[in-house]
Amino acid sequence: MEIRRRSRRQIRDWALAFGPQDMAASRGEAAAFLSLCLAALGVVALGDLLGRGHGSVAAFGFLPVMGAGWFLAPRMVVVVAAVAVGLRLLIVATGAIDPVTAFAQALTIPIFAFLSHAAAVGVLSSRREEDHARRLKAAGQRASELEKAKSEFLRLASHELRSPVAVLKGYISMLGTGDLGELPPAAAEVVPLLTDRVNAVNTLVEQMLESARLEDSRLQLRPRVHQLGTLLPPAVDSVRPLLGEGHRLRLEEPIPEVALLADGRRICTILNNLLENAIKYSPNGGEINVRAVYDRDTVRIEVKDQGVGIPKAGMGKLFTRFGRVASESTAHIPGTGLGLYLSREIARLHGGDLVAESEESKGSTFTLILPKHDRAPGHLRQLVEA
């Protein structure tokens, strides 16, 4: 009983050792096919013995060898080829066929086995590559359909939300100014909160609209000549009300006297976004430093904070549409992941760029790079003339 169990285990180990590795056949199929090949070789050898002196029957011995090459794992092919060569030599020894023919066959059998196996592996791997390419293409199609659905959602939602938000904003502002009459003290108390929330929704709708325009190539810049000194201080001042107790916001003076050819409103939106992020992602306070430097061709505006920073793995996501970097320290901070995406695209439309450097837990520096007025790209100049 024990011996039988052990021999069964040995057979299984043997099957595992010689099992197919790079072929499509399953272990059971391979074992059946191997037995068939060996049986065929036996029949060929028997034919040679019976039809003494010919050696022609031996040619059939190549068939199982080639078949093994196509369907079996390398080690099994070696077994079949070795058995075939062994049988050839055995038959020469019995004097059934002439030694020269048998010797030539014994030499060519392994070559045939190797060639047919190599051919089979080649065909199989090219089929695998085709499958892989097909799967990649299908995944690419799915991803682009998803992107289209996102764009469609942005377009629809932003258009539908635009007018109701404008109405709400108007009425809330009238409530605040008293144009709709004196409010009871309890109602007057919630007006600032309402104003704050409706402004947040308005910014979100604006971002969605801008993103939809960008997707449809409908985003039209309105460039004018601006002095850096007239753009930067108002943008910095506009975020001061958002500063928490531990925050210090500093704009390095003097601001370089350089002119830019730019869409002023949109450059302010980019600066606002960078400054609001610097505040938002520094929940424990810290210094936020803004400075502008220039060289022969460009102006670089840096916004540097000492906030939560960005993990290395998240840097690739920063400027993607809806890209938010997930981390424990930012999970509770609300956002859409549209701000940096839009900011960089708009900077690039100006012939500039937006880049980030960051170290987790230490802080981040975002740098907006814009060409100086006399280096502005041709398409911006044309828009001014138009």
Task: State the residues that interact with ligand ADP by CB under 6 A.
Answer: 273, 277-278, 281, 305, 307-310, 318, 323-325, 330, 335-341, 364
Would you say 105 or 211 has its CB closer to ligand ADP? 211
The pair of structure tokens assigned to 216 is 């449809």
Contacts (Cβ under 8 Å, ≥6 apart) of 292 = 228, 232, 252, 255, 256, 299, 300, 301, 302
Q: Whole-number minimum distance, CB 20 to ligand ADP, in Å?
A: 49
Would you say 48 or 345 has its CB closer to ligand ADP? 345
Q: Whole-number minimum distance, CB 311 to ligand ADP, in Å?
A: 9
Q: Whole-number minimum distance, CB 340 to ligand ADP, in Å?
A: 3
Contacts (Cβ under 8 Å, ≥6 apart) of 270 = 343, 346, 347, 354, 368
Q: Whole-number minimum distance, CB 208 to ligand ADP, in Å?
A: 12
Would you say 109 or 278 has its CB closer to ligand ADP? 278
Would you say 256 or 314 has its CB closer to ligand ADP? 314
Q: Whole-number minimum distance, CB 371 to ligand ADP, in Å?
A: 23
Q: Whole-number minimum distance, CB 369 to ligand ADP, in Å?
A: 17
Relative to beta strand 247-251, strand 286-294 is parallel
Q: Whole-number minimum distance, CB 22 to ligand ADP, in Å?
A: 45
> How far is residue 233 from each of residues 227, 237, 248, 250, 298, measured CA to CA in Å?
11, 6, 15, 10, 19
Would you say 188 or 313 has its CB closer to ligand ADP? 313
Would you say 61 or 363 has its CB closer to ligand ADP? 363
Would you say 116 or 203 has its CB closer to ligand ADP? 203
Would you say 101 or 327 has its CB closer to ligand ADP? 327
Q: Whole-number minimum distance, CB 357 to ligand ADP, in Å?
A: 11
Would you say 47 or 335 has its CB closer to ligand ADP? 335
> How far is residue 240 from each of residues 230, 256, 314, measured CA to CA in Å?
17, 22, 28
Q: Whole-number minimum distance, CB 374 to ligand ADP, in Å?
A: 31
* Closest residue by beta carbon to ligand ADP: 335
